[in-house]
A and B are shown apart, each in its own frame.
Chain A
Amino acid sequence: MSLELEAVTVVFRGNGRRPVPAVVEVTLQVERGQVVGLVGESGSGKSSLGKAAVGLLRPTSGCVRFNGKPVSAIGRRARPSSQLGLQMVLQNPFESLNPRRTVGNQIKDAMRASHLSKRLQDARLSQLLGVLGLAPDTAGKFPHQFSGGQRQRVAVARALAASPSMLILDEPFASLDASAQAQLANVLRVLADEEQVGMLVISHDLAIVRHIADRIAVMYLGTIVESGVASDVWSSALHPYTEALIGAIPKVDGRGALPIALPGEIADPANPPSGCRFHPRCPHAFAVCQVDSPVLIEASPGRNVACWLRHPDEAVRASGADGEADSDASSDEMLGRDSV
């Protein structure tokens, strides 16, 4: 019982425009009861990966399996009932709720597959609203009567109403205030622990994700650059990008140190940098990084990283130590190339 993505690549092709590879050869697995956090900046391909995982996007290559069966792209027919256990909460809670239908009706729609009686549906509805901290009169209201945070929770309640065994949440914390974030994080964790729901939580916020995720995968420009047990990734990041993401989080340690901003912008996926996709922004980039892209290797059991600095061959890493001096000049050069 799991969700498996195998070398999934998603390329967007517009007529006449340069194809945009949003997701490149991503392999990822989520077990039941496991929470996997997928983190990265805006534009790193997280949402595209999530959509490909439920069949909203057809992977250009690679395949997605849910409980061992391939996940088919959604066509005109209803999704097969075997796949209804795989659900996704879309990113924008303002657009994912129907403006002209009551919230209660929309949540009950999600229970259709479970064939509950009307009374049981109502009971489940009020239970779900309660779990997510929404008032009981929520059901009779229209989406525009709620704040962004409330809508976000309504959207989660609706997905839960379908009793999924695997849930993909795209930025579920984005429009919530701190207390609602904590509440939702608890709800998700309990769901994973007690009902064995597997989750792929997509977020740009590593600080929240690390609290609920069992594993974390860090995505940069369409590829996974590091993955591992959440606490390991947090305490000892192997990839410079993960380090930068952690460094960018404000710390409450009493020293008043400002977070370190990662220099530059994420590159255009239609025109990715040569070699390692992160090298123009990497403080440790050296000669090899500009030429060859590092593959994802297993640094230790269950811990993967794609970085030349972590290459098992001593000679490769050593060349990095010499090459660091000229890395500044070369990264400027590469940034210049990007802006063309």
Chain B
Amino acid sequence: MLVVFAMVVLTLWLVVVIFGPLLAPYGPSQQSSAVLSNPSVTHIFGTDELGRDELSRVISGARISIPFSFVIVAIALVIGSILGGLAGYLGGWVDGLIMRITDLFFAFPAIVLAMAIAAILGPSLTSSVVAVVVVAWPNYARVIRSLVLPAMHSDYVVTARLLGSSSVRALVRDVMPNVIGPMVVYSALGLGDAMLVLAGLSFLGLGSQPPTAEWGSMISDGAQYFEQWWLALFPGLAIVSVVLSLNVLGDRVRDTLDPRVNR
């Protein structure tokens, strides 16, 4: 039931990302004389301090937050898979070196490190994406390594090796099927995290710059207007709905991919 709901929510967001401009009643930067107006028939989510339609801006923001979160997770997953896979496969000093590097990143709170990187690179959407990738990849490297390392020493890999597989072949044929499932789940959950950190950076002014509509910066702008609750609420709900749905779906995907879970 919950999964169906999550699927519906995500499908709706997907439609929004693809057909955004066609669905939005106004342009995201289009101003009107109705400044800070309540949600009404003409402006369903109300308007902001420049008279821009909040619904149109939330729709426009979806086209930034969602695709860029995917890009962040994809890049972090590639870097993490290569380095984490190498650490788990080779073990020894390579493993030690790569894990100490990830420790270096874990030594700072993720958001603080991301802020520092975004600030150094100069506030922009690109630098916030780079910053989130930099703080995200060590997580993926860790998880991949923790899946590959024990699998490489498992009895089923030992048996495959006895039957004539090289260790690379065993990695591909026997270890990978055991790594892919958990990684799909981890990435689905990671999408939510990426979106939150990306929005967080924008909220702090280190991400996308005005007039770009981005959920994090919209919340940041809206927070200045305490009376006009709709300004922060709707982009906030947008983030919550996507992140929660991804978490629910991720859990379900894990169960589906695990042959041991009986349904």
Are A76 and B167 closer than 8 Å at their CB atoms?
A: yes
Among residues of A, the one whose C-beta sits closest to the C-beta of B177 is A100
CB contacts under 8 Å to B, within A79-98, are 79, 81, 84, 87-88, 90, 92, 95-98
Q: With an 8 A cutoff between CB atoms, is A118 at the interface?
A: no
Given contacts A98-B178, A100-B177, A144-B259, contact A90 B158 (CB under 8 A): yes
Are B173 and A100 closer than 8 Å at their CB atoms?
A: no
Residues of B within 8 A of A88 (CB): 162
Compute how far the CA of A327 lies from the CA of B259 in the bound complex, rounded to whole angstroms. Answer: 58
Given contacts A98-B177, A99-B178, contact A162 B260 (CB under 8 A): no
Residues of B within 8 A of A159 (CB): 163
Q: With an 8 A cutoff between CB atoms, is B166 at the interface?
A: yes
Compute how far the CA of A54 lies from the CA of B164 in the bound complex, rounded to whole angstroms. Answer: 12
Q: With an 8 A cutoff between CB atoms, is A266 at the interface?
A: no
Partner of A79 from B164, B174, B260 at Cβ < 8 Å:
B164
CB contacts under 8 Å to A, within B137-176, are 154-156, 158-169, 173-174
B173 to chain A, nearest CB (A): 7
How many chain A residues touch B (CB < 8 A): the figure is: 32
Q: With an 8 A cutoff between CB atoms, is B39 at the interface?
A: no
Among residues of A, the one whose C-beta sits closest to the C-beta of B167 is A76
Q: With an 8 A cutoff between CB atoms, is A17 at the interface?
A: no
Compute how far the CA of A101 lies from the CA of B161 in the bound complex, rounded to whole angstroms. Answer: 16
Are A109 and B162 closer than 8 Å at their CB atoms?
A: no
| Complex interface bits, A137-162 against B, C-beta within 8 A gives 1, otherwise 0 | 00000101000000000010011001
Partner of A78 from B154, B155, B166, B174 at Cβ < 8 Å:
B166
Given contacts A78-B169, A95-B155, contact A87 B162 (CB under 8 A): yes
Q: With an 8 A cutoff between CB atoms, is A131 at the interface?
A: no
Are B164 and A81 closer than 8 Å at their CB atoms?
A: yes
Given contacts A109-B173, A144-B259, A144-B260, contact A97 B156 (CB under 8 A): yes
Are B166 and A98 closer than 8 Å at their CB atoms?
A: no
Are A78 and B178 closer than 8 Å at their CB atoms?
A: no
Q: With an 8 A cutoff between CB atoms, is B181 at the interface?
A: yes
Given contacts A98-B177, A100-B177, A100-B178, contact A54 B154 (CB under 8 A): no
Residues of B within 8 A of A87 (CB): 162-163
A94 to chain B, nearest CB (A): 9
Residues of B within 8 A of A106 (CB): 156
- In the assembled complex, 28 residue pairs joining A and B whose CB atoms fall closer than 8 Å, in A order, are A56-B162, A74-B161, A75-B167, A76-B166, A78-B161, A79-B161, A88-B162, A95-B155, A96-B155, A96-B156, A96-B159, A97-B159, A99-B156, A99-B259, A99-B260, A100-B177, A100-B181, A101-B173, A109-B173, A110-B163, A110-B164, A112-B164, A144-B259, A144-B260, A155-B159, A158-B159, A158-B163, A159-B163
